[in-house]
Amino acid sequence: MELLLSLLGLGLIVYAIVMVIVDRAWGWLAYALVGLIVIGLRAVLSVALDIRDHLERSPGHAEGVDPKDDHAARP
């Protein structure tokens, strides 16, 4: 998913730059802006997935135990 969003964003940016050079139509820069927004969304998605993975791997998460609670780990 992240790779697809990256390729889509980069593709839109390259397409907009080529069209501005070929057509001299500055309206194509809106596509570059959309491409930057897509790349930004990919970055946010990447960070959110990293945080979720980190939380899932934190000690005590699977058992529902608060990792800050020392007494919960002892019998």
Burial of residue 19, with CB atoms counted within 10 A of its CB: 0-12 exposed, 13-18 middle, 19 or more buried: middle
Q: Print pLDDT tens along the chain (75 aa).
A: 667 777 888 888 888 888 877 877 777 777 788 888 888 888 888 888 888 888 888 765 555 555 565 555 555
- Overall number of domains in the chain: 1
16 part of a folded domain: yes
Residue 56 sits in which domain range? 2-60
67 part of a folded domain: no
15 part of a folded domain: yes
pTM beyond 0.75, yes or no? no
Q: Are 69 and 61 in contact (CB under 8 A)?
A: no
